[in-house]
Chains A and B, each alone.
Chain A
Amino acid sequence: MTNELLRATPFHARAAEANGLNAWENRGGFTLASSYGDAHSEALAARFGAVLGDVSWRPRTAIAGARAEEFVSRLFTRNASRLSSGAALQALWLNDAGGVRGAGVVVRMGRDSFLLASPWEDLTWITQAAALYDVTVRDVTADDGVLALVGPASAQVLRAAGLDPKLEPLSLRKSFWRGLDVTLSRLGDGYELWCKPDDALIVWDRIVAAGRSFALCPAGQKALDIFDLEGGTPCAGRDYAPAREGFASEPSPQSLGLSGLVDREHTFNGRAGYLADRPEMVLAGILLDSETPAPNGELTRASRPVGRSLGSLYSPALRRAIALAVLAADAAAPGTELMLDGGACRTAALPFLPVPAPILPSDGDSAQ
């Protein structure tokens, strides 16, 4: 992948206009703005107003075929075959020995088609497994442009733009929006608006225009990462290294504190490895007494190791560095004083800050 040329997302032209500092970064082979000005103020805007972010780079994999339901049921740690069309669930996928290969959101698109949206791409593995079921697997990341709308004001922005923001979390709805075919979904921290690449600039402009009165600003990837981490969801590739080999048993869901995404009664690949007796770790938040992030560090209590930190960033909303961590159960109670790489810190319940619920405008005060 490193030898491939960087691709531009469908929103690139608008992102380039807005990106005054020319701060770009590579995400999954796409060129994206890391910030449009100040990442910290963008992260704060996401918490208190609304921001617009380009998430077209997040890998999306289409799974389709007559036996897609059977395959999806076996692949994921929760039973996605019971989903109704347009509904989604969060799940992991494991290798044969129960090592976590990735985590993502599975959406049912139709009777025989599913979509996996996850920040971690694992196309080779899924394709190889799908061959057993004669199911086709396709990387559809470049098929759509996806804009994320995050923040408490995001629903009002959508309403102002003429889209109905009433949508359950973990679901997806197709609509026809003033001449454009778009899909509105709530798979992550806020709304996602999907459109054809050719319509992308129109969609950007319409949202920006509708968002003016709500102080909507574009947010770069750094700000989205901060927002994501404050929400407390660990992310493969960023917060932990997933299993690469087909028979590796680490990292297990237990060691990442992700047992909540596994249905023990469901039959999935790697179940025997998952059920094997393993120490159950707890996923917790860490508030550092410092502004310097400390990812992948060792957490100790009275010089005794009790866990390790995963991803860590500075949180402008909390005005300190925060980290996700996996801890032994006895050290995970919120407020426990620990040491992380020689610096003092304490545990906190997840999420650090709740994902702000969109304030749904009542039908009367719509901008339409």
Chain B
Amino acid sequence: MSEPRDVIVIGASPGGLVAAAYLALAGASVTVLEAEAAHGGACASRLPLGDLTAPSGSHTLCALDPRVVKDLMLVRRGLRFAARDLALVGLRTDGKPLLLGRDAHAAARSIAPCSARDAERFRGFRRDHFAFARAMRALWWESGALSGAAQRDELRRLIVTSAAAMLDAAFESEALKATFAFDALQDGISPADAGSSLLFAWRAAQEMCGLQGAVAIPRGGLAAFVEALVAAAQAAGAEIRTGARVARLLLARDAVSGVALVSGEEIATRVVLSSLSRRRTLLELAPAGATGFAAAARLRRHTAEVGEGKLVLALSSAPGFAALQPAGRFVIVERLEGCVAAHAEARAGRLPGELALEAIVPTSVDKTLAPVGTHLLSVLIRPLPVSPPEGWTELSQLVGKRVLALLERHAPGLSASVTAMNFVEPRDCDPQTVEHMLAGWSDRIATPIDGLYLCGEAAEPVSAISGRAARIAAAIVAARLKGEAR
């Protein structure tokens, strides 16, 4: 048995590192156990791409908690942004691309050829939507309640409104609706599901670099962001061990008493924070039965069916659409209805007929990522079946081909310039629901096992790199440790 610790954090993903840093700052002895050799989890640049590497997870930050940035002094520890506000660009085959940047006038001008009415409405829609989203921060940023009767009415309306219905009611232009639809395909929720409109509100409630609803790219990629978090955690006094895979949780009755590593080492602790999914934490790490029979059965039964994949390409020349907007995220979605149908197909385990893509060209804003003359193109693909019957080894080839063909239509000559590519299949994560989005923070963070908490993306209302769940989990744990010390 190694020396006992106050807190063990499983996984050096951003969530785990933020929780470790906060708890170490609060005076607890903290050890982070990372299974892999590198920090960062899905943010680590581990995906080989010719001579380069890329992270396997998300390629942008859209929900980083501003308080985490401030409290952990991440700017002082080297966090810089290569792009602070990526403009949403809808690439169309049937007309000019839609440029939906922060400048409402420019966006309206871009929408006008599709629909004059939508161009007129766009600004008001965004203003009202952003105002409601700011009110929702009471729920999504802290454990508070929504204030104001009008806001509560709006929430009641959105809980039963699907993303598709919300877009249909707001706009008439198919191109505009399709461009927004990509963001509604998050977390395996269908744009036709009641309450999926809240995904828009959640995104709009976020703030990056002081800008509401912005999407940013850290300089040096997400790996550089992780390094800043590692520096913050270590400066606070947390110990971070890599190559230390946790085999199982040790329980005394129904409370955490320690963790056992794959190596056989055992570390005693009363508190464990897991940055893994709820499913993995409770079904794979915790002993059978400790979760409760009904809760375990529910976790086993409800698995994520729909997820997102990622295709990363190294190119010898920049794709044509990159010239439209250097700092842009390029969305390729044909039709809103297509997304709904695609989600149903993915849910049935089939590869959808229409795929929705979001492409970014990180090298056009950050020259440090690749040598001169090499360009990176990172593409998120939604919706994809998480476990297709034929298996992903076979299907990944097909998806690669389909995505390349789609990109080729918007950037002729792209296929010829590909020097390397790699595909990441959808991750098996917790299935998300509207109830989960609106649950209290403590419900998302706590588990049926005393002393076991979640601090990763599974505890966020919508799975995203944020650090907010970790910060709140750390506060809950710090209060508990303080209470025990008394």
Contacts and interface: CB of A to CB of B under 8 A. Distances in A.
Given A71-B289, A269-B289, A247 B294 contact: yes
Interface in A213-267: 246-247, 267
A246 B297 contact: yes
Contacts of A269: 289, 292-293
Contacts of A75: 293
Interface residues of A, number: 20
Interface in B466-483: none
A270 interface: yes
A121 B387 CA distance: 35
Interface in A62-116: 67, 70-71, 74-75, 95-96
Contact of B293 (A70, A125, A272): A125
Interface of B: 253-254, 288-289, 292-298, 300, 448, 450
A271 B300 CA distance: 22
Interface stretch (A8-16, A49-57, A127-135, A331-339): A127-135
B254 A96 contact: no
B253 A129 contact: no
Interface in A12-28: none
Given A129-B297, A131-B300, A246-B297, A267 B254 contact: yes
**A interface majority secondary structure:** helix
A131 B298 CA distance: 12
Given A267-B253, A272-B254, A132 B293 contact: yes
A133 B297 contact: no
A96 B449 CA distance: 12
Given A70-B289, A95-B294, A131-B297, 14 more contacts: A74-B289, A95-B293, A96-B295, A128-B293, A129-B293, A129-B296, A131-B300, A132-B296, A247-B294, A267-B253, A269-B293, A270-B292, A271-B254, A272-B450
A94 to B, nearest CB: 9
Nearest to B450: A272
Contacts, number: 47
Contacts of B294: 95-96, 246-247
Given A267-B254, A272-B254, A96 B289 contact: no
Contacts of A71: 288-289
Contact of B298 (A133, A246, A272): A246
B279 to A, nearest CB: 13
Given A128-B297, A246-B297, A246-B298, A96 B292 contact: yes
A246 B293 CA distance: 8
Contacts of A267: 253-254
Nearest to B293: A129
Nearest to B449: A272
Contacts of B254: 267, 271-272
Contact of A132 (B288, B448, B450): B288
Give the 6 A-B CB pairs with smallest separation, nearest first: A246-B294, A96-B292, A129-B293, A74-B289, A132-B288, A96-B294
B302 to A, nearest CB: 13
A271 B289 CA distance: 12
A246 B289 CA distance: 14
30 contacts: A67-B288, A70-B288, A70-B289, A74-B288, A74-B289, A95-B293, A96-B294, A96-B295, A128-B293, A128-B297, A129-B289, A129-B293, A129-B296, A129-B297, A131-B297, A132-B289, A132-B296, A246-B293, A246-B294, A246-B297, A246-B298, A247-B294, A247-B295, A267-B254, A269-B292, A270-B292, A271-B254, A272-B254, A272-B448, A272-B450
Residue among B288, B295, B296 with max Cβ neighbours from chain A (10 Å): B288
A255 to B, nearest CB: 19
A133 B296 CA distance: 11
Contacts of A131: 297, 300
